[in-house]
Amino acid sequence: MGSVSTDVTIDCEGLATREINTRIRAALGEGATELTVLNPAGRHNLAVALDGDPRITFEGTVGYFVGALGMGPNIVVNGNAGWSVGADIMGGGVHVHGNAGSSVAASIRGGLIVVDGDVGARAAIALKGGTVVIGGKAGYMTGFMMQTGTLVIGGDAGDGLGDSMYTGDIFVGGEIASLGADAVVRDPTDEELGRLRELLTSVGHEVERPWKHVTSGGNLWHFEKEKYELWKEAF
């Protein structure tokens, strides 16, 4: 009986999404640890709900929900991606060497999501842990209702940044169009800058920028009638 290859290539040409995912799962079940997926051609829902710690590389642009619901795999996209990159992952991560659509890293609880370029609206909404790094610009309502975790935006951030966030840290290297309800901005500490440099160096991103640190003002943690107008603005 021959040994099973740990390095597998899957060509998506002519295959439906279900067949691609079936082949990915079959290869992982047979012990593959390195998968290269050719010609994804913008297909949606690729490599979703996988566990273990394989490395899966997509050579080309993918659609929405790539790597979503992951529990360990490390996914690389050598191209652009649609919305909800890595949504709801528990661990592992996704690195997009291009741009991505809206809702990048929505509701993740752990892991690392990296997009080298720009992203659309609502990145890192309802973030419950983990780390998100955006090399370029981020659209409006990024970090909305963020609960904990770290979000880094190398470029400019759109309107409503950090709206109604509870805890967590947002670092912005460019300009902020406007802050969301109860979000506040301050200068990062030397310790925070040290951790930021370490993170960005590890993912190959530019380190030296005029970083701003956005956090929660804490005024929405408990309802108080004296702050009714702030609550009204938030909703």
Average pLDDT for residues 100-127, to the nearest whole number?
A: 98
Residue 31 lies inside a defined structural domain of this protein: no
Distance CA 63, CA 102 (A): 12
Sheet holding 55-59, edge to edge: 7-11, 34-38, 55-59, 71-77, 91-96, 112-115, 128-134, 148-153, 169-172, 212-216, 183-186
**What are the pLDDT digits (tens) for 169-197?**
999 999 999 999 999 999 999 999 999 99
Q: What is the span of the domain harbouring residue 211? A: 45-50+62-234
**What are the pLDDT digits (tens) for 109-120?**
999 999 999 999
Average pLDDT for residues 141-146, to the nearest whole number?
A: 97
Residue 212 lies inside a defined structural domain of this protein: yes
Q: Report the range of poorest mean pLDDT among 51-55, 124-128, 228-232.
A: 228-232
Number of other residues whose CB lies within 10 A of the CB of residue 78 = 16
**What are the pLDDT digits (tens) for 42-101?**
999 999 999 999 999 999 999 999 999 999 999 999 999 999 999 999 999 999 999 999
Residue 89 lies inside a defined structural domain of this protein: yes
Please tell me the total count of domains within the chain.
Answer: 1
Distance CA 46, CA 111 (A): 18
Structure-block tokens of residue 50: 């996988």
Question: Looking at residue 141, which CATH number applies to its domain?
Answer: 2.160.20.60
Which of 130-134, 163-167, 222-226 tops mean pLDDT? 130-134
> What per-residue confidence (pLDDT) applies to 3?
53
| pLDDT over 50 (residue 2) | no
Residue 16 lies inside a defined structural domain of this protein: no
